[in-house]
Structure 1
Amino acid sequence: MKETTIDPVRRDRTWFERRNGCAILRMATATIVGALLAAVVAVACGGPAASDEPLAGSTPVDTPLYIDPHLEAIAAARKDPRFDPIAETPQAKWFTDWSTSDTARQDVGDYLAGAAAAKAVPMLVLYRIPQRDCGRWSSGGAEDEREYKDWIKGVAAALKGHDNAMVVLEPDALPQLGRCKQGDRLGMLKFAVDQLSTTGARVYIDIGNEKWLNADEAAKRLKMVGVNKVAGFSVNVAAHYTTDSEVRYAESVRFELDKLGIPDAHFVVDVGRNGAGPQPDNCNPPDARLGQKPRLYRGGALDGLLWIINPGETDGACRGGPDKGFWAPAALSLLGLEGP
């Protein structure tokens, strides 16, 4: 597709107007004609609107979430506006191997400064534990335990005082406990929790999804790494299980934590790619669709339905996808579109 040059200021204004226009339309659907118009608006604005209904004892709020201007989807949307619905949606920033122990404090600080200037809530994913997913789709991570701990110290130093920041800690690492052979994974996770717990940020330890660990085992592992010291845990990161079923799973984990003496763990759910429900394979599944728009919740155990995964970015070298980066076929599939 031929690349067109768009003035950044004009484009930002267009995106702003479209986001606000969609918000007005969605409010209208709640009071005027209901489901039929809501479906039309969902198509026009790029995905289902977030519900105004309470969930897990929490009430949705309209606190803005930060859109990182360096998202790969934004660069892709400048060339192909079909990707606008992804580029215009707040989602987490992943701190991986591009950030080192020497640069971590500056890397995180720059991102937090951008969020503060935008008066929006920053969402960070820390994904750099050695061997990450035991050398499968997302191999990599810090070179060793020492480097990882130094990196975490830098991240924690930058996060101090940022009590509105939301941090998802090491997707898949705790569910994979015992599988990876490099270093003391449990010790590294405990160290990270201890360091991050002093920052004031809201930290969520990832515990996988409903098909990975049963609630009893999930609760035991969360207690082992000190979930009582932080906000709680995350579920469904990069997976595709439905919002309702993952909320039920999270509630069952909370029930088991309560039995272990941890009565008030909160949780967040990744809804970035769960619009079509479970998929037979989590690596670049062709039938997955975008989930509902991300939103924060308050008052109960649920703190947010979030786009933790960055939709449109590859899961790894499977189904013809690249090892990393934004992959147009995956993004178009999530949007229910076809290439080129």
Structure 2
Amino acid sequence: MLFSLPRWSVLALPAVAALLVSAGCGRPEAAPEPEPTTGASAEQARPSAPVPLAGATLFVDPNGAAAEQVATWQSAGRTDDADRIRRISEQPAAVWITSDTSQVTAAVDAVLSRATDAGQMPVLVAYHIPGRDCGSFSGGGALDGDDYRAWIRGFAAGVDGRPVTVIVEPDAVAHSLDKCDGSSDRLALLAEAVTVLKQTGTAQVYLDAGHPRWVRDVSRLSTALRGAGIEQADGFALNVSNFIRTSENVDYGRQLSDALGGRTRFVVDTSRNGAGPAGGATVDGGPAWCNPPGRRLGAAPTTSTGLDRVDALLWIKRPGESDGACRPGEPAAGQWWSEYALQLAGD
């Protein structure tokens, strides 16, 4: 498929300390520490409605893979390289939730607990749809529809009245238009996921909508998004794990929003689009969308974009994590890859 990206990052209970990841350039101002609350007062302190993403301070994890790499290289005397990776570690980035059904509630809770303690807004990616990535480099996901329904309810249980932004199932809607197996059931599952997440009362929900060079017919895509519950969501997400420049995404996003009635808002993943996409279908014997050389970090995450209908520029893909083992010696999808992180960070 054109420019469709694999993406995932396994979160499991034995690795809960690694649940969070930071990435970006331009460190957000730290939010004040929340007052400690207990018992009934803690329940009263929780919001009764979603905290809007626009204007929120995004969660920066001090213990992500990039931060660990900085500490390792600093101790080893590789101070220049450590400084370059700080361009990633000091930025807010999404956390991908891919734990199985028995662990998903704890995985979500662990992230939200840290973010709440920091007074910041976490961005999570729900990534467990059956037939995920159509069986490509990031294949996997729930066993079937019933397993996914249980999983998304477990995800929602982990929210537990705390503010969160959720990007729902990267590639899933666009893949449904590629005739991925089970695509008719997929839209119904996505619509149910949106409903369940919105019923938490505190989640901002954005359905993934691919990118400008995948489904070029926005009328066709808007129909699929309606089937996937976009009218109940807060908007859609573009360019997740991709490299297409922000301006192209914003133009496309407005066209798609117009096709949906002109009021639907969206977010753009700018994590790795600083140099734009690689040319051609393949690079060095691998797909051009998979770990292409010469790419750079994109614009810093912000929830104050000044752009019509754009709620945020986010780092949804965590810079430095592999897209997949697309060439000999490349790590599996979701694994930290320090050499590629250095490329993205630039000189």
Q: TM-score, normalised by structure 2?
A: 0.75
Contact map agreement 2:188 2:227 (CA 8 A) in 1: no
Does residue 264 of the first structure (1) align with residue 271 of the second (2)?
A: no
1:211 and 1:267 map into 2 onto residues whose CA distance is: 17
- The CA RMSD over aligned residues, in Å, is 2.4
1:238 alignment partner AA = S
Contact map agreement 2:62 2:90 (CA 8 A) in 1: no
> How far has the Cα of 1:217 moved from its partner?
1.6
Contact map agreement 2:187 2:224 (CA 8 A) in 1: no
1:116 alignment partner AA = T
1:140 alignment partner AA = G
Structure 1 residues 286-311: Cα deviation after superposition (integer angstroms, max 9, x where no partner):
01100011000378521100000000
Alignment of 1:210-249 (within 5 A): 210-213=212-215, 214-249=217-252
Q: In the alignment, which residue of structure 2 is the partner of 1:253?
A: 256
> How far has the Cα of 1:230 moved from its partner?
1.3
Q: In the alignment, which residue of structure 1 is the partner of 2:45?
A: none
2:322 and 2:64 map into 1 onto residues whose CA distance is: 13
Range moving further from structure 2, 292-301 or 73-82: 292-301
1:309 alignment partner AA = K
Q: In the alignment, which residue of structure 2 is the partner of 1:167?
A: 166
1:190 alignment partner AA = A
1:313 alignment partner AA = E
> How far has the Cα of 1:179 moved from its partner?
3.1
1:179 and 1:132 map into 2 onto residues whose CA distance is: 13
Q: In the alignment, which residue of structure 2 is the partner of 1:5?
A: none
Does residue 321 of the first structure (1) align with residue 314 of the second (2)?
A: no
Matched position secondary structure for 1:125: strand
Q: In the alignment, which residue of structure 2 is the partner of 1:331?
A: 341
1:144 alignment partner AA = D
2:326 and 2:305 map into 1 onto residues whose CA distance is: 38
How many residues end up aligned between the 2 structures? 277
Percent identity between matched residues is 39
Q: In the alignment, which residue of structure 1 is the partner of 2:317?
A: 309
Q: In the alignment, which residue of structure 2 is the partner of 1:14?
A: none
> How far has the Cα of 1:19 moved from its partner?
7.2
Matched position secondary structure for 1:86: helix
Q: Which runs of 4+ in 1 moved over 6 A?
A: none
Does residue 287 of the first structure (1) align with residue 294 of the second (2)?
A: yes
Contact map agreement 1:174 1:221 (CA 8 A) in 2: yes
2:263 and 2:102 map into 1 onto residues whose CA distance is: 36
Q: In the alignment, which residue of structure 2 is the partner of 1:93?
A: 95
Unaligned runs of 5+ in 2: 1-24, 30-53, 74-81, 280-287
2:318 and 2:122 map into 1 onto residues whose CA distance is: 14
Structure 1 residues 268-319: Cα deviation after superposition (integer angstroms, max 9, x where no partner):
0000000001223110010110001100037852110000000000000113
Structure 1 residues 8-30: Cα deviation after superposition (integer angstroms, max 9, x where no partner):
xxxxxxxxxx977x98xxxxxxx
Does residue 104 of the first structure (1) align with residue 104 of the second (2)?
A: yes
1:150 alignment partner AA = A
1:64 alignment partner, one of 48, 53, 57: 57
Contact map agreement 1:283 1:315 (CA 8 A) in 2: yes
Higher relative CO (CA 8 A, sep ≥ 6), structure 1 or 2?
Answer: 2
1:115 and 1:312 map into 2 onto residues whose CA distance is: 22
Contact map agreement 2:66 2:88 (CA 8 A) in 1: yes
Matched position secondary structure for 2:196: helix
2:66 alignment partner, one of 63, 73, 77: 73
2:313 and 2:299 map into 1 onto residues whose CA distance is: 8
1:304 alignment partner AA = A
- CA separation of 1:106 and 1:298: change in aligned 2, threshold 3 A: same
1:336 alignment partner AA = G
2:319 alignment partner AA = P
2:332 alignment partner AA = D
Q: In the alignment, which residue of structure 1 is the partner of 2:154?
A: 154
Q: In the alignment, which residue of structure 2 is the partner of 1:277?
A: 276
1:209 alignment partner, one of 191, 194, 211: 211
1:288 and 1:76 map into 2 onto residues whose CA distance is: 20
1:298 and 1:116 map into 2 onto residues whose CA distance is: 24
- CA separation of 1:158 and 1:136: change in aligned 2, threshold 3 A: same
Contact map agreement 1:160 1:198 (CA 8 A) in 2: no
1:87 and 1:93 map into 2 onto residues whose CA distance is: 13
Q: In the alignment, which residue of structure 2 is the partner of 1:39?
A: none
1:332 and 1:92 map into 2 onto residues whose CA distance is: 19
Structure 1 residues 300-339: Cα deviation after superposition (integer angstroms, max 9, x where no partner):
52110000000000000113311131012211111225xx
> How far has the Cα of 1:160 moved from its partner?
4.6
- CA separation of 1:298 and 1:307: change in aligned 2, threshold 3 A: closer
1:268 and 1:291 map into 2 onto residues whose CA distance is: 14
Range moving further from structure 2, 307-316 or 101-110: 101-110
